[in-house]
Structure 1
Amino acid sequence: MIETPLTKLLNIRVPVVQGGMQWVGVPELAAAVSNAGGLGILTALTQPTPDALRVAIRETRKLTDKPFGVNITLLPSINPPDYAGYAKAAVDEGVRIFETAGNNPGPLIKFFKSNNCIVLHKCTTIRHAKSAARHGVDVLSIDGFECAGHPGEEDIGGLVLLARAAQELDIPYIASGGLADGRGLAAALALGAAGANMGTRFMCTVESPIHQNIKDKIVSANEQDTVHIFRTLHNTARVFKNSVSTEVVAIERRPGGAQFSDVQHLVSGQRGRKVYELGDPEYGIWSAGSCVGLIKDVQSCKELVERLEREAEEIIEGLGRLVVRKGNAKL
């Protein structure tokens, strides 16, 4: 077993978290990851209302007796979701592990901590990580440039970002972005992390709710098959490279730039949801990390987590054999 501050804090066997993913973090997937020894995460905003989240939590409890968490991501929106309602619903249902992300999480973190909850907060900069630590989070999820979704605007890769976290942070942190195998998990631990957050890798599992066509598309992809959109709008997002995301980038690059209204019809979240439901990878925008180039199969969560654990252990043991202890030379 690999024992870290994360495994001890969350009472899990393997230091791997299935990050919250819109339309993907549903009871079947979260429970399967938790049953496999990692930490499964329900995505609150995948559910249409706080009451629907209550139902999802109860469904997850029927599928696993292991720890699992709930993700609440604070998104820029004209009509913000009822974040407080989702948070209260989850706490009322007995959830005590939360993954938060997005801007201004202070009030949400304060609510969770007042209810004796464990909070993992996702950050893309050391500056924001320090701020979240001051708010009292228990674990930081350090999201590098390779990640799916929003990597921030500073373009710092995980290799440097995680090493900087080791220099600067006083609480445990986990690595997020670009991780999909045991080699990545071992590397994250070597860089000072207490574990790894994997999103795209868990999209491509048997229990993932997305269409098999999309899973096959991920397996056949390479590390060059993602693209950044919204760069000129200062809200960068890494998504799968298809005809829609290519059109968005082209619009952004027009002379004079673009406004969100120019691309809004292309980037609708409902179109992205239909990608997962219908299995047409060209139907809309859908998130994927550059680790798609590392994913070569679709396994059950049990098989995947066991493989991650086994590969990481083998690599760590192998690294130990690189150290040669030379005895004192005899004259």
Structure 2
Amino acid sequence: MIQTAVTKMLGIAHPILGGTMMSITDARFTAAISNAGGLGILASAIYKTREDFAAAVDEVQQLTDKPFAVNINLFPAMTAIDNNIYLDVMIEKGVRVVETSGHSAPEDLCGRFKSAGMTWIHKCVGIRYAQKAETLGADIITVVGYENGGATGKLDIGTLVLVPSVVDAVKVPVIGGGGVSDGRGLLAVLALGAGAVIMGSRLLVTRECPIHENLKKALMNATELETRLIMRSIGATHRVWDNAAAQKCAKIEAEGGDFNEVISVVAGDKARHMYATGDLDAGVISCGQGIGLVHDIPTVADLFNRIVAQAEAAGKRIGLTG
């Protein structure tokens, strides 16, 4: 067992957090990650009404008695409800951990986090954003390097540089990620000074992940070369699996296509169709370079146990542990 300041603060067995993934990290998947000893983080943005979100929180609490978090998405959205509504439900249901992610820290919400006694994790892309969140009262900072899947930010800094830079710049604990798929990556992130790792792409290829088996198998067979950056032309750079839809988006951008043309390819309904039917080119899916290290489809619990064992074995191999 690997215990750190972050595992103790969050009350989790393993220093592993499941990255929030839109339309994927639902109640059941969140609970599976928490039951496996990590921290599952429910994606609030999946739910468009107070009632649906409240039902999802109830479901997580019915499926696990372990700690979990809720993500509040601060990125611009085509359709979204007031985040205060999500927060009202979280306070009402006794959610103890909140993660925020987006272009800036939520100055209008952080006071409510603290008043409710929540542990607040803020996910950002660089030092000045981390320091701002710290001044607002964030308890933990999460940063992910350029290798990661999903939003990469504008700084294009790799994990090996970003994580220790932020560790040195703030006083609160740091969670790091970006390209981590196994125990070697966990050990490396801990060696950089972080107290835990956050991973998303590796969790896509687990039994409990609610995407089609065809997609899981395709990702399992992908290499580290099979991701690409899209949506930079509209100020929302994402790293995704390099399928036909991603290639179409890149072509539209290269030819000067506008916002609506880009969105027509990357729209959430097309991604959800791919997740449900296994039509591998219907939409895009966020995916990091660490997908090249994925070679099987375990349960989340088996994966986490393996990752921790690998990290401990790697530490012994290079003389870092007994």
Same fold judged by TM-score > 0.5?
yes
Change in CA separation of 1:93 and 1:322 when aligned onto 2, cut-off 3 Å: closer
Matching residue of 1:197: 198
- For the Cα contact (< 8 Å) 1:12–1:38, is it kept in 2? yes
1:71 and 2:71 matched = yes
TM-aligned CA deviation for residue 46 of structure 1: 1.3
Cα separation, 2, equivalents of 1:167 and 1:321: 22
1:140-190 deviation digits (Å, cap 9, x = unpaired): 111110111111111110111012122212110011211111110000000
TM-aligned CA deviation for residue 317 of structure 1: 2.4
| Unpaired segments ≥5 residues, structure 2 | none
- For the Cα contact (< 8 Å) 1:244–1:284, is it kept in 2? yes
- For the Cα contact (< 8 Å) 1:36–1:305, is it kept in 2? yes
- Of 16-25 and 187-196, more deviation after overlay is shown by 16-25
What aligned pairs does 1:236-315 form with structure 2 within 5 A after superposition?
236-254=237-255, 257-315=256-314
Cα separation, 2, equivalents of 1:321 and 1:181: 18
TM-aligned CA deviation for residue 306 of structure 1: 0.6
TM-score, length-scaled by structure 1: 0.93
TM-aligned CA deviation for residue 53 of structure 1: 1.4
Cα separation, 2, equivalents of 1:212 and 1:314: 31
The residue matched to 2:165 in structure 1 has which SS?
helix
1:88 and 2:88 matched = yes
The residue matched to 1:132 in structure 2 has which SS?
helix
- For the Cα contact (< 8 Å) 2:203–2:209, is it kept in 1? yes
Cα separation, 2, equivalents of 1:312 and 1:279: 33
Letter in 2 for 1:118: T
State the percentage of identical aligned residues.
38
Matching residue of 1:211: 212
Cα separation, 2, equivalents of 1:206 and 1:322: 32
TM-aligned CA deviation for residue 21 of structure 1: 0.9
TM-score, length-scaled by structure 2: 0.96
- For the Cα contact (< 8 Å) 1:205–1:301, is it kept in 2? yes
| Unpaired segments ≥5 residues, structure 1 | 324-331
The residue matched to 1:293 in structure 2 has which SS?
helix
Letter in 2 for 1:76: P
- Of 171-180 and 69-78, more deviation after overlay is shown by 69-78
TM-aligned CA deviation for residue 109 of structure 1: 2.2
Cα separation, 1, equivalents of 2:149 and 2:110: 24
Matching residue of 1:221: 222
The residue matched to 1:265 in structure 2 has which SS?
helix
**What's the C-alpha RMSD, in Å, of the aligned pairs?**
1.5
- What is the number of equivalent residue pairs in this alignment? 321
Matching residue of 1:157: 158
Change in CA separation of 1:321 and 1:131 when aligned onto 2, cut-off 3 Å: closer
Cα separation, 1, equivalents of 2:120 and 2:315: 28
Matching residue of 1:141: 142
Letter in 2 for 1:273: R
- For the Cα contact (< 8 Å) 1:20–1:99, is it kept in 2? no
Matching residue of 1:44: 44
TM-aligned CA deviation for residue 266 of structure 1: 1.1
- Of 43-52 and 195-204, more deviation after overlay is shown by 43-52
Matching residue of 1:328: none
1:196-225 deviation digits (Å, cap 9, x = unpaired): 001111121111111111111110000111
- For the Cα contact (< 8 Å) 1:151–1:238, is it kept in 2? yes
1:263-286 deviation digits (Å, cap 9, x = unpaired): 221121111111111111200121
Matching residue of 1:327: none
Matching residue of 1:29: 29
Cα separation, 2, equivalents of 1:151 and 1:110: 27
TM-aligned CA deviation for residue 234 of structure 1: 2.4
Looking at CA atoms only, which structure, 1 or 2, has the larger radius of gyration?
Answer: 1
- For the Cα contact (< 8 Å) 2:153–2:236, is it kept in 1? yes
Cα separation, 2, equivalents of 1:75 and 1:281: 26
